[in-house]
């Protein structure tokens, strides 16, 4: 008697496809193939498998008079393929603290976490006098924490780009986590910078983007 097969494990190539869509946003098979250095047909085989598992979906992008181009993007279900920083446990702890100590008590716990986070970032950024070097070091720290972070120059400014939020569910349950994060970045990077958040995952953006501008 035949048995229902379980979904195949994610291979290295398929993980790379998911990673490219996470970092670069919706893309065509041709664009993904060019990045991977393989044929578009080879990429499509992975895309079709990922679509069958509900991890990605396709849409059509008009191309003048020609046939529309298929564009592939991640679904909400794809979040299971990326770090989640024990979100179930985090949610349970947030609700427990809220029930036991109220909103004020929860705010104090979150603020204490932010203070600890800030102290750690400052320790790693100390000695870096150049703003760009500080941003790059902070990017490395955030990537190590699961944020899939990248640093990019934008004119005279720097951008800290976070393609994934491993605490997204916890941040939705307690938005003070995100509110404090902006202050932590500002204080960690120093008074000679101005940090603003331009994109925010919690309000529907694909990623979080922070602009770091030099202050005289």
Select from 79, 106, 130 the last residue of a domain: 79
* Rounded-to-integer distance, Cα 145 and Cα 82, Å: 12
Shared-domain flag, residues 21 and 48: yes
Judged by average pLDDT, the poorest of 90-94, 187-191, 197-201 is 90-94
- Three-state DSSP class for 166? coil
Q: Is the pLDDT of residue 6 over 70?
A: no
Q: Is the pLDDT of residue 15 over 90?
A: no
Say if 147 falls within a structural domain.
yes
Say if 193 falls within a structural domain.
yes
Say if 6 falls within a structural domain.
no
Shared-domain flag, residues 91 and 155: yes
Shared-domain flag, residues 62 and 105: no
Select from 79, 98, 132 the last residue of a domain: 79
**Number of domains composing the chain:** 2
Select from 79, 101, 125 the last residue of a domain: 79
User: Residue 101's domain is classified under what CATH number?
Assistant: 3.30.1380
* Rounded-to-integer distance, Cα 198 and Cα 210, Å: 6
Say if 2 falls within a structural domain.
no
* Residue 76, pLDDT score: 78
* Contacts (Cβ under 8 Å, ≥6 apart) of 7: 53
Shared-domain flag, residues 74 and 162: no
* Rounded-to-integer distance, Cα 108 and Cα 32, Å: 45
What average pLDDT does the segment 181-210 reach? 94
Q: Which of 41-45, 57-61, 184-188 has the highest mean pLDDT?
A: 184-188
Shared-domain flag, residues 184 and 142: yes
* Contacts (Cβ under 8 Å, ≥6 apart) of 102: none
Print the domain residue range for 33. Answer: 12-79
What average pLDDT does the segment 14-39 reach? 88
What average pLDDT does the segment 124-143 reach? 95
Q: Is the pLDDT of residue 13 over 50?
A: yes
- Of 14, 5, 77, 78, the C-alpha closest to 44 is 14
- CA dihedral for 8, 13, 16, 22, sign (positive or negative): negative
* Residue 4, pLDDT score: 41
**Higher model confidence: residue 4 or residue 61?**
61
DSSP 164: -
pLDDT band at 5 (very low <50, low <70, confident <90, very high): very low
Shared-domain flag, residues 70 and 92: no
């Amino acid at each position: 008697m035949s048995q229902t097969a379980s979904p195949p494990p994610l291979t290295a190539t398929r993980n790379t496809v998911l990673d490219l869509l996470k970092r670069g946003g919706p893309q065509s098979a041709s664009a993904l193939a060019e990045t991977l250095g393989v044929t578009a047909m080879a990429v499509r085989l992975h895309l079709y498998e990922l679509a069958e598992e509900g991890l990605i979906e396709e849409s059509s992008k008009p191309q003048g008079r020609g046939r529309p181009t298929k564009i592939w993007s991640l679904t909400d279900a794809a979040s299971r393929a990326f770090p989640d920083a024990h979100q179930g446990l985090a949610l349970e702890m947030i609700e427990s603290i809220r029930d036991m100590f109220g909103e004020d008590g929860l705010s104090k716990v979150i603020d204490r976490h932010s203070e600890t986070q800030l102290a750690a970032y400052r320790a790693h950024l100390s000695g870096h006098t150049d703003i760009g070097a500080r941003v790059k070091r902070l990017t490395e720290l955030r990537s190590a924490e699961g944020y899939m972070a990248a640093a990019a120059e934008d004119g005279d400014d720097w951008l800290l780009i976070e393609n994934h939020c491993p605490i997204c569910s916890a941040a939705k349950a307690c938005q003070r986590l995100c509110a404090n994060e902006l202050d932590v970045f500002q204080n960690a990077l120093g008074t000679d910078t101005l940090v603003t958040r331009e994109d925010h995952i919690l309000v529907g953006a694909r990623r979080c983007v922070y602009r770091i501008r030099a202050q005289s």
